[in-house]
Amino acid sequence: MAAPGLHSDGGSYMGNIRESPASGGTGLNGNDPAGKTTATQLERTARRLGITLRRLLARDKETRSELDLVAAEILVRIERLDEWRTLHHLLYEVLVAFAPFSTSLGLVSPGSFSPAQRQALLLNWRVCQDRMDALANFADGIRWIGRPLRQDRHELRGAPWAAEVIALRLLVEDGLKDDSADPAYVRELADEFRDACQRHMKFADQQLQDAIDEVEYLLTCLLGHRQGLLSDLAAAP
Protein backbone atom coordinates (compact mmCIF):
# COMPACT_ATOMS: atom_id res chain seq x y z
CA MET A 1 0.00 0.00 0.00
CA ALA A 2 1.41 3.37 -0.97
CA ALA A 3 1.73 6.01 1.69
CA PRO A 4 -1.28 8.35 1.82
CA GLY A 5 -1.05 11.96 0.75
CA LEU A 6 0.02 14.13 3.66
CA HIS A 7 -1.17 17.59 4.59
CA SER A 8 0.32 19.42 7.54
CA ASP A 9 0.68 22.92 8.95
CA GLY A 10 3.71 23.22 6.69
CA GLY A 11 1.90 22.27 3.46
CA SER A 12 1.02 19.20 1.41
CA TYR A 13 3.16 16.07 1.53
CA MET A 14 3.22 13.63 -1.39
CA GLY A 15 5.95 11.14 -2.17
CA ASN A 16 9.15 12.32 -0.49
CA ILE A 17 8.77 13.52 3.08
CA ARG A 18 9.60 17.16 3.71
CA GLU A 19 11.69 18.06 6.76
CA SER A 20 10.21 19.70 9.82
CA PRO A 21 11.61 22.94 11.28
CA ALA A 22 13.86 20.90 13.58
CA SER A 23 16.95 19.04 12.52
CA GLY A 24 19.11 16.39 14.13
CA GLY A 25 19.76 15.37 17.73
CA THR A 26 17.78 13.55 20.35
CA GLY A 27 16.63 16.35 22.66
CA LEU A 28 16.75 16.64 26.43
CA ASN A 29 20.27 15.21 26.34
CA GLY A 30 18.75 11.84 25.42
CA ASN A 31 16.92 11.65 28.75
CA ASP A 32 13.15 11.86 28.49
CA PRO A 33 12.20 12.77 32.10
CA ALA A 34 14.07 16.10 31.93
CA GLY A 35 11.68 19.03 32.09
CA LYS A 36 8.81 16.97 33.47
CA THR A 37 9.42 17.87 37.12
CA THR A 38 10.02 21.53 36.28
CA ALA A 39 6.81 21.75 34.27
CA THR A 40 4.76 20.10 37.02
CA GLN A 41 6.22 22.38 39.68
CA LEU A 42 5.48 25.44 37.56
CA GLU A 43 1.88 24.36 37.11
CA ARG A 44 1.39 23.81 40.85
CA THR A 45 3.04 27.12 41.68
CA ALA A 46 0.87 28.96 39.17
CA ARG A 47 -2.33 27.49 40.53
CA ARG A 48 -1.41 28.15 44.17
CA LEU A 49 -0.39 31.69 43.30
CA GLY A 50 -3.64 32.27 41.46
CA ILE A 51 -5.69 31.20 44.47
CA THR A 52 -3.67 33.43 46.80
CA LEU A 53 -3.98 36.44 44.51
CA ARG A 54 -7.73 36.05 44.23
CA ARG A 55 -8.04 36.07 47.98
CA LEU A 56 -5.81 39.11 48.37
CA LEU A 57 -7.43 41.05 45.54
CA ALA A 58 -11.06 40.28 46.26
CA ARG A 59 -11.73 43.99 46.91
CA ASP A 60 -9.44 45.42 44.24
CA LYS A 61 -11.33 44.83 41.00
CA GLU A 62 -9.05 46.81 38.69
CA THR A 63 -5.83 45.16 39.84
CA ARG A 64 -7.50 41.78 39.96
CA SER A 65 -8.68 42.17 36.36
CA GLU A 66 -5.13 42.89 35.19
CA LEU A 67 -3.64 39.99 37.09
CA ASP A 68 -6.41 37.64 35.96
CA LEU A 69 -5.27 38.28 32.38
CA VAL A 70 -1.70 37.32 33.29
CA ALA A 71 -2.93 34.23 35.15
CA ALA A 72 -5.00 33.20 32.13
CA GLU A 73 -1.95 33.54 29.88
CA ILE A 74 0.03 31.36 32.27
CA LEU A 75 -2.60 28.62 32.17
CA VAL A 76 -2.66 28.65 28.35
CA ARG A 77 1.11 28.36 28.23
CA ILE A 78 1.06 25.56 30.78
CA GLU A 79 -1.37 23.61 28.59
CA ARG A 80 0.90 24.15 25.59
CA LEU A 81 3.91 23.16 27.68
CA ASP A 82 2.16 19.97 28.73
CA GLU A 83 1.44 19.01 25.11
CA TRP A 84 5.09 19.51 24.10
CA ARG A 85 6.15 17.48 27.13
CA THR A 86 3.76 14.66 26.20
CA LEU A 87 4.93 14.67 22.58
CA HIS A 88 8.56 14.45 23.65
CA HIS A 89 7.78 11.56 25.99
CA LEU A 90 5.85 9.64 23.32
CA LEU A 91 8.59 10.08 20.72
CA TYR A 92 11.12 8.93 23.29
CA GLU A 93 9.05 5.80 23.91
CA VAL A 94 8.78 5.18 20.17
CA LEU A 95 12.56 5.32 19.82
CA VAL A 96 13.07 2.98 22.78
CA ALA A 97 10.62 0.50 21.25
CA PHE A 98 12.25 0.93 17.84
CA ALA A 99 15.76 -0.01 19.02
CA PRO A 100 15.30 -3.83 19.16
CA PHE A 101 13.65 -3.80 15.73
CA SER A 102 16.51 -1.75 14.29
CA THR A 103 19.07 -4.16 15.75
CA SER A 104 17.28 -7.18 14.26
CA LEU A 105 16.94 -5.46 10.90
CA GLY A 106 20.66 -4.72 10.83
CA LEU A 107 21.44 -8.44 11.11
CA VAL A 108 19.49 -9.37 7.96
CA SER A 109 21.70 -10.34 5.02
CA PRO A 110 21.35 -8.56 1.66
CA GLY A 111 18.95 -10.05 -0.85
CA SER A 112 15.62 -10.90 0.70
CA PHE A 113 14.00 -11.73 4.03
CA SER A 114 13.67 -15.35 5.06
CA PRO A 115 10.27 -16.29 6.54
CA ALA A 116 11.84 -16.58 10.00
CA GLN A 117 13.52 -13.18 9.69
CA ARG A 118 10.31 -11.54 8.55
CA GLN A 119 8.37 -13.07 11.43
CA ALA A 120 10.98 -11.93 13.98
CA LEU A 121 10.99 -8.41 12.56
CA LEU A 122 7.20 -8.18 12.62
CA LEU A 123 7.19 -9.28 16.26
CA ASN A 124 9.75 -6.62 17.16
CA TRP A 125 7.87 -4.02 15.17
CA ARG A 126 4.63 -4.65 17.07
CA VAL A 127 6.11 -3.04 20.17
CA CYS A 128 6.90 0.04 18.12
CA GLN A 129 3.41 -0.06 16.60
CA ASP A 130 1.88 0.12 20.06
CA ARG A 131 3.82 3.29 20.88
CA MET A 132 2.99 4.74 17.46
CA ASP A 133 -0.70 4.12 18.11
CA ALA A 134 -0.35 6.11 21.34
CA LEU A 135 1.35 8.92 19.41
CA ALA A 136 -1.43 8.95 16.80
CA ASN A 137 -4.11 9.06 19.51
CA PHE A 138 -2.34 12.00 21.13
CA ALA A 139 -1.97 13.80 17.79
CA ASP A 140 -5.70 13.38 17.23
CA GLY A 141 -6.56 15.49 20.30
CA ILE A 142 -3.92 18.25 20.44
CA ARG A 143 -5.06 21.86 20.89
CA TRP A 144 -1.93 24.01 21.12
CA ILE A 145 0.99 22.50 19.18
CA GLY A 146 -0.49 21.95 15.74
CA ARG A 147 -3.56 20.84 13.86
CA PRO A 148 -5.18 17.63 15.15
CA LEU A 149 -4.38 14.54 13.10
CA ARG A 150 -6.96 13.37 10.59
CA GLN A 151 -6.28 10.23 8.56
CA ASP A 152 -7.94 7.77 6.25
CA ARG A 153 -6.73 5.28 3.63
CA HIS A 154 -5.56 7.95 1.22
CA GLU A 155 -4.73 11.03 3.25
CA LEU A 156 -3.07 12.30 6.43
CA ARG A 157 -3.66 15.80 7.75
CA GLY A 158 -2.09 17.30 10.84
CA ALA A 159 1.03 18.70 12.46
CA PRO A 160 4.28 17.99 10.55
CA TRP A 161 5.66 15.78 13.33
CA ALA A 162 2.57 13.57 13.22
CA ALA A 163 2.21 13.42 9.44
CA GLU A 164 5.85 12.62 8.72
CA VAL A 165 6.39 9.99 11.41
CA ILE A 166 3.11 8.19 10.74
CA ALA A 167 3.71 8.19 6.97
CA LEU A 168 7.15 6.65 7.46
CA ARG A 169 5.65 4.08 9.79
CA LEU A 170 3.25 3.01 7.02
CA LEU A 171 6.10 2.75 4.53
CA VAL A 172 8.15 0.57 6.89
CA GLU A 173 5.15 -1.69 7.47
CA ASP A 174 4.52 -1.98 3.73
CA GLY A 175 8.16 -3.00 3.24
CA LEU A 176 7.93 -5.66 5.94
CA LYS A 177 4.81 -7.16 4.38
CA ASP A 178 6.15 -7.11 0.80
CA ASP A 179 7.65 -10.50 -0.06
CA SER A 180 9.81 -8.92 -2.76
CA ALA A 181 11.09 -6.01 -0.65
CA ASP A 182 14.86 -5.56 -0.48
CA PRO A 183 16.12 -5.50 3.14
CA ALA A 184 18.37 -2.57 2.23
CA TYR A 185 15.30 -0.56 1.19
CA VAL A 186 13.51 -1.37 4.45
CA ARG A 187 16.63 -0.39 6.41
CA GLU A 188 16.69 2.93 4.57
CA LEU A 189 13.05 3.56 5.50
CA ALA A 190 13.72 2.54 9.09
CA ASP A 191 16.64 4.97 9.28
CA GLU A 192 14.42 7.77 7.96
CA PHE A 193 11.80 6.87 10.55
CA ARG A 194 14.36 6.99 13.39
CA ASP A 195 15.87 10.26 12.15
CA ALA A 196 12.43 11.87 11.89
CA CYS A 197 11.56 10.85 15.45
CA GLN A 198 14.85 12.26 16.71
CA ARG A 199 14.41 15.55 14.83
CA HIS A 200 10.89 16.07 16.08
CA MET A 201 11.87 15.08 19.61
CA LYS A 202 14.62 17.71 19.56
CA PHE A 203 12.14 20.27 18.25
CA ALA A 204 9.67 19.35 21.01
CA ASP A 205 12.45 19.77 23.55
CA GLN A 206 13.23 23.25 22.23
CA GLN A 207 9.56 24.23 22.36
CA LEU A 208 9.23 22.78 25.86
CA GLN A 209 12.17 24.82 27.14
CA ASP A 210 10.76 27.97 25.52
CA ALA A 211 7.38 27.34 27.14
CA ILE A 212 9.01 26.83 30.54
CA ASP A 213 10.87 30.14 30.15
CA GLU A 214 7.63 31.94 29.24
CA VAL A 215 5.77 30.52 32.23
CA GLU A 216 8.63 31.36 34.58
CA TYR A 217 8.65 34.95 33.28
CA LEU A 218 4.90 35.36 33.78
CA LEU A 219 5.12 33.79 37.22
CA THR A 220 7.83 36.30 38.09
CA CYS A 221 5.48 39.10 37.02
CA LEU A 222 2.71 37.70 39.19
CA LEU A 223 5.03 37.22 42.14
CA GLY A 224 6.18 40.81 41.81
CA HIS A 225 2.57 42.02 41.97
CA ARG A 226 1.90 39.78 44.94
CA GLN A 227 4.94 40.97 46.90
CA GLY A 228 4.11 44.58 46.16
CA LEU A 229 0.55 44.06 47.33
CA LEU A 230 1.66 42.36 50.55
CA SER A 231 4.00 45.28 51.26
CA ASP A 232 1.15 47.74 50.75
CA LEU A 233 -1.10 45.74 53.05
CA ALA A 234 1.60 45.58 55.72
CA ALA A 235 2.17 49.33 55.54
CA ALA A 236 -1.53 50.19 55.63
CA PRO A 237 -2.82 51.68 58.90
Sort 221 into a burial class: Cβ within 10 Å, 0-12 / 13-18 / 19+.
Answer: middle
Q: Please check the confidence at residue 10 and state whether its pLDDT lies above 50.
A: no
Residue 1: predicted pLDDT: 45
Q: Which domains are delineated in the chain? A: 34-235 (1.20.1330.10)
User: Which one has a higher pLDDT value, 155 or 227?
Assistant: 155
Q: At what angle do helices 183-235 and 36-56 cross, to 10 degrees?
A: 30
91 CB burial (10 A radius; 0-12, 13-18, 19+): buried
Where is pLDDT greater, at 231 or 155?
A: 155
Residue 26 has a pLDDT of 40
Return the higher-pLDDT residue of 174 and 8.
174
Residues 6+ apart with CB under 8 A from 74: 46, 50, 215, 218, 219, 222
The pLDDT assigned to 54 comes to 60
Confidence (pLDDT) at 50: 63
